[in-house]
Amino acid sequence: MEIISRRTALAGALSMLTVFATGCAPRSDQAAVQAALQSAVDAVPGYVGGTIQYQDGFSPGTTISAVLTVTATDREGTAEVLSSILEAVIRTYVDQPDVRTGFVRISASPEGDQTISVNTADIVKPSEGANATTDDVASHFKLS
């Protein structure tokens, strides 16, 4: 009985170590990453407005999200500008310290026409599930 208790205690200690290590892993500087991503988006021709949101938290996870406005007038043009935005975002993101894989949920609509909307998943097919990840976007742009 004592051997089983020791094994159980050892297994419990190892699992707690894993949980502890995950919780203490370095996190990115949210404000710095968000500013870098916004700066990258601001430089994309065709971008008009909207703010990139970046979240890197223990319980909510890591997400890059935005609802953006672009100069395009149709769905194809909107998709083209969003593709350029996604490329700028991922090229900037992979250079940031301590970033982790996260979801990318960015949508774009033409200025003055919210009936047309193009989302990340329309440009980058998710490897699984409904949402593309930073790994999916990096792979799409051949960065990984």
Over the stretch 32-76, which tens digit does the pLDDT of each residue have? 999 999 999 999 999 999 999 999 987 778 999 999 999 999 999
Chain-wide mean pLDDT for the chain?
A: 88
Closest CA to 77 of 113, 52, 46: 46
Q: Which amino acid is at 91?
A: R
Residue with the two structure tokens 């406005």: 69
Which sequence spans correspond to the domains of the chain?
27-140
Domain 27-140 fold: Alpha-Beta Plaits (3.30.70)
- Whole-structure pTM over 0.75, yes or no? yes
Distances (CA, A) of 27 to 55, 58, 63, 91: 10, 9, 13, 19
Percent of the chain with pLDDT over 70: 82
Quick one: pLDDT at residue 14? Answer: 47
- Contacting residues for 132 by C-beta, under 8 A, at least 6 apart: 103, 104, 120, 121, 124, 125, 126, 140
Q: Angle 30-42/75-93 helices, nearest 10 degrees?
A: 140
Q: What's the token pair of residue 134?
A: 């930073």
Q: How confident is the model at residue 4 (pLDDT cuts 50, 70, 90)?
A: low
